[in-house]
Structure 1
Amino acid sequence: MFKFARLPRLSLRQLTPVAAIASALFALTPAQATPFNLSAYLSCRHTQLTEFPGTIVDAAMATPQLSTLVSLVVAADLTGALSGKGPLTVFAPTNDAFAQVPGPLLDLIGSDPKLLTKVLTYHVTSGTADPRRSLIPTQVPTLQGQSLFLTYDADGASVNQSVASCKGVKTTNGTVWLIDSVLLPQFK
């Protein structure tokens, strides 16, 4: 009869980083054309945030590539909420991201204040959320009530299926991350 040596028990805290790295490095599916790049991950993760001396709304207004988002935030009357005490994290779709949304759908969302508020608040979390930090998808609740999934994978820093910039903007009341697509919550 064989006796097996007892392996030390690892806590979930000890196992999680090992599992995350292993899954990121070895669990790529054949559909993924780009393998995980550890040096790109480390570079992205350690990119310093840009400091902005105003609020999230001030930073968005000062960023020309966020003009569509700014106009929708104004239309939804969310400027006060996004200028208030934080911290908040905003995943901000660029003008190019809004251009990918079919015109009739964007018109429908923009013409219904309740629907517009739901879509926009789905891009906002309370507290600090950083999509560059996790190799395992992390669920974060939004102000809209549903959750987003943040991860860093072969595509880079991601929010749901959207790719986020590695360089966020730190404001007086939170952080803004540029993303390449509009996030849509589940509608019931």
Structure 2
Amino acid sequence: MANLVETAAKVGKFNKLLQLAETAQIVDTLKSADIFTLFAPTDEAFAKLPDGTLDALQKDIPTLKKVLTYHVAFGDVRAEDLVQIEEAETLEGSVLAIDSTNGVIKVNDTNITQTDIVADNGVIHVIDHVLIPAMVAGK
């Protein structure tokens, strides 16, 4: 198998996420032996950001790092676990709200469109929007 970064690259729809992870210098963290759950926005999810948001993030590396680490939860949290929990602590330091209603799993208000892409050091869940931590959104 492969680590989270290699696994995300193989899936092929996380190019922007991987590029931004390089920029924010969190690739080594995602490749490490530590176990994480990555809520991974697709390239399409990044395209949904308001005009100028992505450019602004790429120019503000500390904020970009906060946004990206907000997508990384501690531990290997599979779909079967997500339906049993209400929140997940992130590497960024905040907590994500997890909701499972009528077979739909959401993180904050964002749909998880695919679950359980397994890597050596964790699991990837595909999401359809970029998650923005409250402290960044309130800027």
Secondary structure at the counterpart of residue 150 of structure 1: strand
| Equivalent residue number for residue 186 of structure 1 | 134
Structure 2 unpaired stretches of 5+: none
Q: Distance in 2 between matches of 1:112 and 1:123?
A: 17
Q: Distance in 2 between matches of 1:153 and 1:166?
A: 16
Q: Distance in 2 between matches of 1:91 and 1:163?
A: 10
Which protein has greater RCO, CA pairs closer than 8 Å, 6+ apart? 2
CA separation of 1:88 and 1:134: change in aligned 2, threshold 3 A: closer
Say which structure is richer in strand: 2
* Shift >3 Å, 4+ stretches: 130-137
Q: Does the CA-based 8 Å contact 1:132-1:166 persist in structure 2?
A: no
- Which entry has the higher C-alpha Rg, 1 or 2? 1
| Equivalent residue number for residue 104 of structure 1 | 52
Q: How does 1:138-153 map to 2 (within 5 A)?
A: 138-153=86-101
Q: How does 1:44-63 map to 2 (within 5 A)?
A: 53-63=1-11
Aligned sequence identity (%): 29
| Equivalent residue number for residue 160 of structure 1 | 108
Question: Which residue of the other structure, out of 18, 21, 26, is the alignment partner of 1:73?
Answer: 21
Structure 1 unpaired stretches of 5+: 1-52
C-alpha displacement of 1:128: 2.1
| Equivalent residue number for residue 93 of structure 1 | 41
More moved, 87-96 vs 60-69: 60-69
So what's the TM-score if we normalise by structure 2? 0.89
**C-alpha RMSD of matched pairs (Å):** 1.7
So what's the TM-score if we normalise by structure 1? 0.67
Q: Size of the alignment, in residue pairs?
A: 136
